[in-house]
Structure 1
């Protein structure tokens, strides 16, 4: 710094300007000259150097330099030129006015800190765009981490500005803030919890933008739009937006459907409630009829008589195993559940070969339409509570008999 001062003083002395003997006219002229130099250097940087850098980055095969040296980043860097020039040249204009010079130099330093923070913001934005294009980092919730780094940079910048204004060392201010750490932690509680939760979500790969998540506690059922420092935005299927604190996703339970999307299959798990009064043994003729139609395999001779519910279950299992819209690489099962007052649940468990919602519902509907329609052929009935029309029909039948 002293070497630069000496060189500039020698240059001014060669021009006939002695910084010890400056009148106000010369000072004003030099201030205007400093402003002009700052303007010219900034314009040369923006209109000469920036296009040259852009041309160089455009010729490279890598894409990271296109984001790192984008217009926002380079323009943020150009904003640092004026305060640096002011800080170097103002001492020669106000050499005899130490108080004025001290105020102006403080203003230059504060200006430099502000534009440095803007540069850091642009740099973090570029890094985020680069990570969004990277295959391994694209689906990581890194936005919250970048926001926390920017928040820390802003906090350090504010401390430096305060230290400049009160002429104190930044370390002294930090020591004073240590005493009020509890208050700061209370103020920034959500941000701190959000940062810790964001690191856990990213490290454990629990959540990615684009995942379908369900969290009944917060009424969330849809796709993750954004994972930031303080909120996770979920667009529900009715197009409403639900915001969830990131730490809630770590402390509470939520359902992530990503595995279903990666597998390419969606589970079908639905029960038919059978009227238990219709469950009975099959006749020999019925068994032969089922075997001839290929609905079931022939039972062993001398074994227990076949029950119509057993034959129906075997039929459903064979139907699912032959259905081309069912994923045969996943589990296929038809089982009885615990009897209930509403009947005997016969659960169908399989996976559709698609994850598209409309196609999935169509496959599920087709399966159960068939299962319900074929049920009477096995002498079985679906249980349902009697309705008003049922009671009216029975009452009419009784009156007719009377």
Structure 2
């Protein structure tokens, strides 16, 4: 390589000397010719390299089944590599062209060397970007924080590249530079604190399977409620259901509490848990005439008959005085309503009957007796889930009057009479 460059750039100086130019003028004229020649040759080498490398990469991508080489093409790896070949040619040619200009040879040689280091790192970055895109297309890695790992590797490479550049500029050995970096490691840790915390968090999030790309999470502290679209070294991006994007620091995923809905999505149903407040003074025992009227409600008709036979048998056996309803065993409108809602839930088509289906009474409050619905919707999609839950609650609100019960409502302060 050295002999070839000498032949290419060593012919002009003797020609100018033979033309009786003085040594200084011959050197400058030779420099001008060689720089012009170097520019032309470098650009030609670049065009040829780009043409053959890009064509070769495209042809290779078409013939192979793997998509990795296709991603190398889309990330322009061959194009950036084509820049490297003429740069290496320039780097080898500079000492010959500028052999009579030692000062400029040193400066220009260092600049070319720095550019080669930066371009090499950029080529490595395009390869890693292609690798990242390739792994994200693989179902096994699609939900892993690949971005975080690649960013850490690139940070290490950029730091190493910075060390090489500084050692070239100031003519310091790489070993001494690394020793200097070790001495100022505390400052480096302080500067890259968020990056280090993000990397540790990314590893913990991945190993503990706390969150994946595509998970629906709720993070009240940051106002996030939506799907995770990206996990990288510093941030986790969440696309909220109103199509806004929330950015969360990665280390917050392990330092703060958030809700991941993956378990619900992977389960057989989505939980419905709502309650209404029943006025306590509307709860009472039911007499026989009222029970006869309630038998017209098909969902509890057979239950009332069977339950009444059991209660009458008990009261007769123990000779209970039924002139007052409180004596012995009785049915209440509240208990019968709970039974009715339970039967209604079991026959409702939108619920998963293999999971818990429950209508229960909660601890009394100053505002009334809570009656809670606890069941699981078969359809977990948001809009269908909300429809199923509203449909059930609508029926409860409409049916409660048939059992002579009332729902508690805060007094509005306005008169109920219109004058």
Q: Please give the TM-score of this superposition, normalised by the length of structure 2.
A: 0.84
Alignment of 1:2-17 (within 5 A): 4-6=1-3
Q: How many residue pairs align between the two structures?
A: 388
CA drift at 1:169: 1.1
Correspondence for 1:139: 143
User: CA-to-partner distance for each residue in 1:69-103, whole Å, 9 max, x for gaps?
Assistant: 43511112112112211122223323444443333
User: CA-to-partner distance for each residue in 1:133-191, whole Å, 9 max, x for gaps?
Assistant: 11111122222222222222222111111110110012211211222212211111111
Alignment equivalent of 1:345, drawn from 355, 361, 370: 370
Instruction: Rate the CA distance shift 1:12–1:381 in 2: closer, same or farther, 3 A.
Output: closer
**1:204 equivalenced with 2:229 (yes/no):** no
Larger radius of gyration: 2
SS of the residue 1:339 aligns to: coil
CA drift at 1:295: 2.0
Instruction: Rate the CA distance shift 1:244–1:283 in 2: closer, same or farther, 3 A.
Output: same
User: CA-to-partner distance for each residue in 1:253-276, whole Å, 9 max, x for gaps?
Assistant: 001122333336322110011111
Correspondence for 1:388: 413
Correspondence for 2:355: 330
Alignment equivalent of 2:113, drawn from 109, 116, 122: 109
CA drift at 1:344: 0.7
SS of the residue 1:295 aligns to: helix
CA drift at 1:15: 7.6
Correspondence for 1:399: none
CA distance in 2, matches of 1:345, 1:293: 23
SS of the residue 1:243 aligns to: strand
Alignment of 1:309-324 (within 5 A): 309-324=334-349
Correspondence for 2:80: 76
Query: Greater shift after overlay, 280-289 or 58-67?
Result: 280-289
Alignment equivalent of 2:69, drawn from 65, 69, 72: 65
1:140 and 1:202 in contact (8 A); partners too: yes
Alignment of 1:272-287 (within 5 A): 272-287=276-291
Instruction: Rate the CA distance shift 1:276–1:216 in 2: closer, same or farther, 3 A.
Output: same
Instruction: Rate the CA distance shift 1:13–1:46 in 2: closer, same or farther, 3 A.
Output: closer
1:267 and 1:351 in contact (8 A); partners too: yes
**1:360 equivalenced with 2:380 (yes/no):** no
Query: Greater shift after overlay, 264-273 or 234-243?
Result: 234-243
1:54 and 1:70 in contact (8 A); partners too: no
**1:190 equivalenced with 2:194 (yes/no):** yes
Instruction: Rate the CA distance shift 1:252–1:89 in 2: closer, same or farther, 3 A.
Output: same
Instruction: Rate the CA distance shift 1:387–1:70 in 2: closer, same or farther, 3 A.
Output: closer
Q: Please give the TM-score of this superposition, normalised by the length of structure 1.
A: 0.87
**1:221 equivalenced with 2:236 (yes/no):** no
Query: Greater shift after overlay, 353-362 or 306-315?
Result: 353-362
Instruction: Rate the CA distance shift 1:61–1:347 in 2: closer, same or farther, 3 A.
Output: same
CA distance in 2, matches of 1:284, 1:171: 98
User: CA-to-partner distance for each residue in 1:331-371, whole Å, 9 max, x for gaps?
Assistant: 21111111100111111011222233232222211111111
1:114 and 1:157 in contact (8 A); partners too: yes
2:57 and 2:78 in contact (8 A); partners too: no
**1:168 equivalenced with 2:196 (yes/no):** no
Query: Greater shift after overlay, 124-133 or 261-270?
Result: 261-270
CA drift at 1:14: 11
SS of the residue 2:76 aligns to: helix
CA distance in 2, matches of 1:112, 1:119: 10
Q: Which runs of 5+ in 1 are unaligned?
A: 397-402
2:53 and 2:82 in contact (8 A); partners too: no
